Amino acid sequence: MTLAGLVLEIRRRGGRTSFVLDDRSGRIEVTLFDDVYQQYRALIARDSILVVDGALRWDDFIEDWRLAAKRILDVDQAREQYARRLVIRWPREPQQGGARFVNVLEQTLRPYCRGRCSVAVRYTGSSATAAILLGEQWTVRPARELLERLGQIVGRDGVELHYAPRVET
């Protein structure tokens, strides 16, 4: 099972650590044995957003579900690992014209190239609509900084990330 949420509280009991993960639809206690905790302790902090892979089981003592963590990623690591396509919506009226927008987009994407996430540009005009998938040399690492810069250029609603379905190994 993979769950994501905000860490609300952290407790340590003997050789185990647990924390409460909240995704706004519910809360679950995540337990970590000491070896797993030592591996991921730098990520576990109150108010951090984590993605946790683990084994889900019913706990008779707390009469609720509990997740025994096996792997933990912070939200930035998860985005970079699982995002497969970045879709950028061409602004209806780009500042200083279309050629300028293309130059700004190129300068923004270039430092993040050579990632695993393909990039598509969606254009909608008064007489045409197009979706342009950029070539392999434009695959990016969808870092938080890149998404923030793109949001400043095309607006927050002008940037979408699409994720691949999880494959069980």
Q: pTM of the predicted model, to two decimals?
A: 0.77
100-112 tens-digit pLDDT: 889 999 999 999 9
> In the chain, what percentage of residues exceed pLDDT 90?
78
Q: Please indicate whether residue 166 or residue 141 has the higher confidence score (pLDDT).
A: 141
For the residues of the chain, what is the DSSP string, one character each?
A: -EEEEEEEEEEEETTEEEEEEE-SS-EEEEEEEHHHHHHHTTT--TT-EEEEEEEEEEETTTTEEEEEEEEEEEHHHHHHHHEEEEEEEPPSS-TT-HHHHHHHHHHHHGGGEEEEEEEEEEEE-SS-EEEEEPPGGG-E---HHHHHHHHHHH-GGGEEEEEPPP---
What pLDDT, on a 0 to 100 scale, did the predictor assign at position 97? Answer: 65
What pLDDT, on a 0 to 100 scale, did the predictor assign at position 73? Answer: 97
User: For the chain, which domains are there?
Assistant: 2-78 (2.40.50.140), 83-163 (no CATH)
In the predicted structure, residue 96 carries a pLDDT above the cut 60: no
The pLDDT-based confidence of 169 (bands split at 50, 70, 90) is low
In the predicted structure, residue 94 carries a pLDDT above the cut 70: no
Nearest Cα to Cα of residue 73 among 99, 88, 54: 54
63-81 tens-digit pLDDT: 899 999 999 999 999 999 8
